[in-house]
Amino acid sequence: MSRDTTDQSDVSKMQLAPDGSFKRAVSSFRNTIEKGDRYHLYVSYSCPWATRTLIVRKLKGLEDIIYVTAVSPKTGPNGWPFAQVSPFPGVDEDPLYKSKHIKDLYLRADPAYTGRFTVPVLWDKKLGTIVNNESSEIIRIFNTAFNELLPEEKVSIDLYPNTLRSEIDALNEWVYHDINNGVYKAGFATSQEAYEKAVHALFDALDRVERILADSDFLVGNRLTEADVRLFVTIIRFDPVYVGHFKCNIRTIRDGYPSIHRWLRNIYWKNPAFKDSTNFEHIKTHYYGSQVHVNLNRVIPWISVETGMTLADGNNVTLSKRAGFEVVTCYGFGTKIDRAPAITVIDDWCDNVAIGKGVPVGATLWARYNYGTFTILVSAFALSNPSCNGFIIDGNCNRLLRLPLDGCNTGGVNGKQGGYETDLCGQWRFDPGSNGSDV
Ligand SMILES: N[C@@H](CCC(=O)N[C@@H](CS)C(=O)NCC(=O)O)C(=O)O
């Protein structure tokens, strides 16, 4: 392909309107689907639009029907590269054509294509062309088109139910313009007026979402719908990226929007389709590292996303950043256990029993494991402290439980077994054997 296509692939060459405002181009391939093993999904984990499709693919259990290829978050003059051009953890080669860039797929589908080379791309392996490159349509396709191949429990997941369609459409409309695309309008603006117009519209819309979520766990109909999926992909990027990189800094989600923050944490921690589709390394690397017209020196801000900045904590505590202290207390002599099985138990407890669960003041969330001839108790206890209001167990669970394990030499030299770690709001216990156990 000899044609110079960098005007179509280099984000820093993107044309803005004369007033400096960003207008997203309309997607070009808008076909729909037939059944069968013929589709392949190309995504970037950094991209919110592509992440919509990843989430719905998982929610609907389409993993074995539609395979995914992830491109590198490091875009350059030729747009989105595959691993052979830009190796990066979690990035793939193109398994179908060994393409170097996403743009090669577009030009394979249509050599005269003049639009932007965007992700996501839903590819038809049989016809060797693009089925659709518009995420809002791809998620509707995924919602129903493969139902005949799916078990009942997945068929019954309907993210765009008939009875809620008009409400979902109405909400999507302003959420798209003012929030999903609103952050880009603020971030890509090259005039003060365009930026200010976008940023105020964005925060007015977030205020509106906050009011909706104050009384409900979901945006529409008190159930998970595509409206939640479409909003999630923007909100999960908000504090780590949009606040700084796109100057969307009137408020943060974690400090300014308690109901949106609760909704975000619930969705992220309770539903693996959302958590597993979120890759913060790809997100940060792409926005800060590739959009050089916004961030000339590619400096990526430090952020600990899952431990305090965005997603941690329950009601009023942030587990990893709790004021006060963390103290590890060891039990006396008792049964010792090796570190490896202890960690297996901790991980199992956190991943399968605990994460996302709320622990009200005075209550204990616990489980007992039988390990060979003895038992292991794992628990989290919410202390009643006036400055705490219980907590929700977050992704920091494993670390907190390993503190007593590490601090008490389980399986180690001085004969002590497990123990507990105490801080202002809670106590985390890891207790192998029965001696010293008091849960
Ligand atoms: N309307 C499309 C928009 C997709 C889109 O703009 N993707 C961005 C990444 S987040 C992209 O690939 N941009 C590359 C470019 O514009 O060159 C959709 O929702 O699927």
Query: What is the residue-level pLDDT of the chain in tens, covering all 439 positions?
Result: 467 888 888 877 777 788 878 877 777 676 666 555 789 999 999 999 999 999 999 999 999 999 999 999 999 999 999 999 999 999 999 999 999 999 999 999 999 999 999 999 999 998 999 999 999 999 999 999 999 899 999 999 999 999 999 999 999 999 999 999 999 999 999 999 999 999 999 999 999 999 999 889 899 999 999 999 999 999 999 998 999 999 999 988 887 887 898 899 888 877 889 989 999 889 999 999 888 888 988 888 776 555 444 454 332 223 333 334 556 777 765 666 777 888 889 999 998 888 888 888 889 999 988 877 667 889 999 888 777 778 888 877 887 888 777 777 555 544 556 778 887 778 888 887 654 443 3
**Can you give the pLDDT at residue 438?**
35
Handedness of CA 172, 229, 220, 393 (dihedral sign): negative
Q: Does the Cβ of 135 fall within 6 Å of ligand 1?
A: yes
In a 3-state reduction of DSSP, which class is residue 411? coil
Q: Does the Cβ of 53 fall within 6 Å of ligand 1?
A: no
**Can you give the pLDDT at residue 373?**
66
Say if CB 414 and CB 425 are below 8 A apart.
Answer: no
**Can you give the pLDDT at residue 157?**
97
Residue nearest to atom 14 of ligand 1 (CA): 118
Closest ligand 1 atom, CA of 102? 12
**In the numeric block, which tokens belong to residue 314?**
């329950």
Say if CB 274 and CB 266 are below 8 A apart.
Answer: no
Question: How close is the Cα of 416 to the center of ligand 1, in Å?
Answer: 56
Residue nearest to atom 13 of ligand 1 (CA): 118
Question: How close is the Cα of 27 to the center of ligand 1, in Å?
Answer: 8
Catalytic machinery residues: 47
Closest ligand 1 atom, CA of 46? 10
**Can you give the pLDDT at residue 83?**
97
Looking at beta carbons, which pairs linking 341-345 to residues 24 or more positions away fall under 8 Å? 341/371, 342/376, 342/405, 342/410, 342/411, 342/418, 342/430, 342/432, 343/402, 343/405, 345/369, 345/371, 345/376, 345/378
Say if CB 201 and CB 178 are below 8 A apart.
Answer: yes
Residue among 119, 123, 172, 226 to mutate when testing ligand 1 (max atoms within 8 A of CB): 119
In a 3-state reduction of DSSP, which class is residue 76? strand
**Can you give the pLDDT at residue 437?**
41
Residue nearest to atom 8 of ligand 1 (CA): 118
Question: How close is the Cα of 76 to the center of ligand 1, in Å?
Answer: 14
Question: How close is the Cα of 49 to the center of ligand 1, in Å?
Answer: 7
**Can you give the pLDDT at residue 403?**
78
Whether the link from the prior residue into 120 is cis, omega within 30° of 0, is: yes
In a 3-state reduction of DSSP, which class is residue 223? strand
In a 3-state reduction of DSSP, which class is residue 428? strand
- Measured from the Cβ of residue 280, the count of other Cβ atoms closer than 10 Å reads 20
CA pair distance 301, 309, nearest whole angstrom:
12
